[in-house]
Structure 1
C-alpha cells in the first residue's frame, strides 16, 4: 500500500491500491442529483479521476479548478472529481466556482470508491489525494497516490496520461 500522510501524520488507507495495467475496480458513488454513478456509466470513454479530501479547501479547490481548465483540451476524456463531501455541497461549490467541465461525485455514503481504489483514510473518513486515468477499456493507465495529502498532484503527468489514453 502507498504510504500517505495527512498534515505530516501517517494515516491508514482502507481498500486495495490499484496499479497501472490492472482492470479498474467498480465503485458506486452519488452524482449531485443523488443518482448513483458506477464505473460502467462512463464506459467507452477515457476517465481522469481526480480525488480530493474536501472540495472546498485550498489545495482541493485548486486541483478541481486546474482539471476543469484542462478538460476542454482533453478530447474524449471524462473528468471526474471524487470526494466524501455531500452532493449538495459539491453542487453549491461548483456553481460558485463556475465549474462546468468536471463532474463531481460523492463517496460519502459507502466509501465505495475509496475502498475500491485504496484511498479511504480510516482515521478521518476522507479520501487521500490521488489521480487515476482509466482508458476506454477500463484499464488503469495512470495512478498517483500523493504522499502528503495536503500537497498537489503531478498535474502535467496526469494530463499527459489522459491524452495518451485517448
Structure 2
C-alpha cells in the first residue's frame, strides 16, 4: 500500500512499506563492528527506524527506546538510520546512549520499502517502528508525518 509522507505538513515522498507478513531478513553492522542478522535473533525484535539521528525527533525516539531497552531484556531493540556509523557513534557518545544502533547501507530501506523518494530527506529512511516475532511482522507504524514521534506504548505492547 503506497503511503504519502509529509514533513511539517508538506508532502515530501511516497513509499510502499512492508507492514505485515514475513519480515524481510537483513544483516547490518552495529557500532562495534558486529553483524546483526534479523533471522538469527530469537527474542521479539523491536525495530526503531528514523531518518537522521542528528535531528530532534530522531534523537528523542532513540533516547526513549534506549531507556526501554535497558528495562526490557526480553526484547531485542534495533535502531536503524542511514547516518554513517561514525555519526551514530559520535551521537551515542554525546548522549550517553548504549543500545544496538545500525547504519543502513540501503539494504534494509529497500527491503522494507522505507526509502524517501523526494524532499529535503531524499534517500533517508521513513520514521517507523516494527515488531517482529518468529520471522513475522506483527506490528508496524509508518509515520505519515516525519516530525511526529511514534506510539511507544503500542510498539512495546505488541512485543508481548
- In structure 2, what is the equivalent of residue 2 of structure 1? 3
Q: Distance in 2 between matches of 1:58 and 1:76?
A: 28
Partner of 1:19: 19
Alignment of 1:80-159 (within 5 A): 80-100=78-98, 102-107=99-104, 109=105, 111-123=106-118, 124-135=122-133, 137-159=134-156
For the structure 1 residues 11 and 26, does the alpha-carbon distance in structure 2 shift closer, same or farther, using more than 3 Å as the test? farther
Whether 1:46 and 2:41 are equivalent positions in the alignment is: no
> Which structure 1 segments of 5+ residues have no match?
none
TM-score, structure 1 normalization:
0.86
- Which of these residues, 50, 56, 59, is aligned with residue 58 of structure 1? 56
Query: Matches of residues 66-85 of structure 1 in structure 2 within 5 Å?
Result: 66-85=64-83
1:33 and 1:87 in contact (8 A); partners too: no
Q: Helix, strand or coil for the counterpart of 2:22?
A: coil
Deviation at 1:9, TM superposition (A): 2.5
Task: Say which SS state the counterpart of residue 80 (structure 1) adopts.
Answer: strand
* Deviations 1:124-144 (CA, angstroms, capped at 9, x unpaired): 111010000011x11111100
Query: How many residues of Structure 1 are paired with residues of Structure 2 in the alignment?
Result: 156
TM-score of the pair, normalised by structure 2: 0.89
Please give the root-mean-square deviation of Cα atoms over the aligned residues, in Å.
1.7
Return the alpha-carbon distance in structure 2 between the equivalents of residues 82 and 88 of structure 1. 14
Q: 1:81 to 1:13 in 2, by over 3 A?
A: farther
